Amino acid sequence: MRIVLSNVKLMINENVYLKDPESSALGKKILNESILLIKEIGFEAFTFKKLGQRIESNESSIYRYFENKHKLLVYLTSWYWSWMEYRLVFETANLTDPKDRLNKTIALFTEETKDDESTEHINEALLQQIIISDFTKTLLTKEVDEENRNGFFVIYKRVIHRIAGIIKEVNSSYPYPDSLASTIVEGALHQHFLKQHLTSITNCSDEISPSDFYLDLINKVLN
Amino acid sequence: MRIVLSNVKLMINENVYLKDPESSALGKKILNESILLIKEIGFEAFTFKKLGQRIESNESSIYRYFENKHKLLVYLTSWYWSWMEYRLVFETANLTDPKDRLNKTIALFTEETKDDESTEHINEALLQQIIISDFTKTLLTKEVDEENRNGFFVIYKRVIHRIAGIIKEVNSSYPYPDSLASTIVEGALHQHFLKQHLTSITNCSDEISPSDFYLDLINKVLN
DNA sequence: CATTTTTAAAAGTATTACTATTATTTTTGC
DNA sequence: GCAAAAATAATAGTAATACTTTTAAAAATG
């Protein structure tokens, strides 16, 4: 199923950016090329100076959009979860059986993503790779409580709550729906990472996907 | 059950350090105080200069033990997993029923740690807090493949394999023992973090522990 | 006690993560 | 179509980081 996103603007918390990057050509270039550059050299080595060189623009111009690279990463991850939320709502809309809805949901959040061609300035497949390697780092900081208060993670939290809600529809007496949802979403990212880099401690491979593992898991846990 | 570690030296891969920190008083001070300082200001803000000031020693002296702070963190995390492996072997040694062994194991890896008084230069409870916030960062780098080849993560991987082995004893036909083990160990760290900072997306609290959640989960998955 | 090793102190370098200033270009509103 | 405002580019500068190097002093060891 192809999603039409052309007319939808994903809303990202305003505290994350100084100037909305979706409001200008340079801003979109920043999003687009930062994904490529972070994927290429890793988030730790990524700097605004290097990004500036790459987009043939100035370091200081990028600073007018984002205070620092951490906030740019929070922006990109928020965009990703917002896009996933949209897909979740869209792709489960016509499913009435809670079990179908749950299986579809788990598949969506544990599968590898293909690029969605309806957004030209974001390569979703590459963005998912960045989410796998770097999303957790946006949370694991000394500033997490303050940033959480400032709404940096609202979209992610909303996504987890939606999934927890679907879990409850299937089994309303299960006592840990939020923990199960957060464990699966975060765990799926981790299994993708292990599949790519630490293959010996996962059963996921070209034949077995994280989806297989988590679909099996959730059905056993909820029945 | 109290563990006697006085006579045991946990072996850490030699590629991680330049000089064995357990071989000198300064080295032990580096381990001891780095745990306190990382906990205090966070790993990102932690520098060898600050650590040097704190232990009233010189920055350059610390560089003779560890090439950089990342390797110091890999050392600390390896030490932690080595200690956990020791506890795992010790505490399951006299259990013959596979189910008992598994439950004990899951409890061990999902519970909050109390300081083990038998090692004076490491505060295990604080170290666990660092593991919760920072262990994943040691893996999520651009250099993970090279460091993995150099044996930086052998202890962690061995721990996961041990747990996977115990899972297989309980249910030899379960198809994803390694993924289940890695999901639980890593997921438990994540649930502890959520419990502390993003309480709305976990059911873990003062009343419900990550152990409750994962013990329930593993028994449902394997039966 | 002489040699080696370890540690400390100081200085130096390249890079990072910004900020500030000024100039130029682009956009917009009348 | 032009003046004003806003955005961008270029340059320079700063404080901190993440080291390396050198030299000297202290401690350990054979």
Number of inter-chain CB pairs under 8 A, A vs B: 141
- pLDDT at res. A1: 46
Q: How far apart are CA B12 and CA B91, in angstroms?
A: 22
pLDDT over 60 (residue B1): no
Contacts of B150 (CB under 8 A, 6+ apart): B13, B15
3-class SS letters over A49-69:
HHHHHHCCCCHHHHHCCCCCH
- pLDDT at res. B2: 47
Closest chain B residue to A159, measured at CA: B201
Q: How far apart are CA A80 and CA A130, in angstroms?
A: 10
Are B115 and B57 contacting, i.e. CB atoms less than 8 angstroms apart?
A: no
pLDDT over 70 (residue B181): yes
* Nearest residue to C16 via alpha carbon and C1': A47
Reported as a pLDDT band with limits 50, 70 and 90, residue B56 is confident
pLDDT tens across B182-201, in order?
A: 999 999 999 999 999 999 99
pLDDT over 90 (residue B98): yes
Interface contact flag, B198 A139, Cβ < 8 Å: yes
Q: How far apart are CA A98 and CA A103, in angstroms?
A: 9
- pLDDT at res. B115: 62
Residue with tokens 């409890």: B107
Residue with tokens 């305003």: A14
Q: How far apart are CA B128 and CA B122, in angstroms?
A: 11
Q: Which of A140, A142, A221 to mutate to test the interface with B (most CBs of B within 10 A)?
A: A140
- pLDDT at res. A126: 94
Interface contact flag, B201 A178, Cβ < 8 Å: yes
* Average pLDDT score over residue span B17-39: 90
List chain B residues with CB under 8 Å of A146: none
| Closest Cα in chain A, distance from residue B23 (Å) | 31
pLDDT tens across A130-179, in order?
A: 999 999 999 999 999 999 999 999 999 999 999 999 999 999 999 999 99
Interface contact flag, A203 B44, Cβ < 8 Å: no
Interface contact flag, B176 A148, Cβ < 8 Å: no
- pLDDT at res. A6: 53
pLDDT tens across A45-56, in order?
A: 999 999 999 888
Instruction: Work out the angle at residue B92's Cα, subtended by the Cα atoms of residues B87 and B98, and round it to the nearest 5 degrees.
Output: 145
Q: How far apart are CA A8 and CA A173, in angstroms?
A: 37
Q: Which parts of chain A have pLDDT scores under 50?
A: 1-2
Report CA(B130)–C1'(D26) in Å, whole number: 34
Which of residues B23 and B175 earns the better pLDDT score? B175
Structural domains in chain B plus CATH codes: 74-222 (1.10.357)
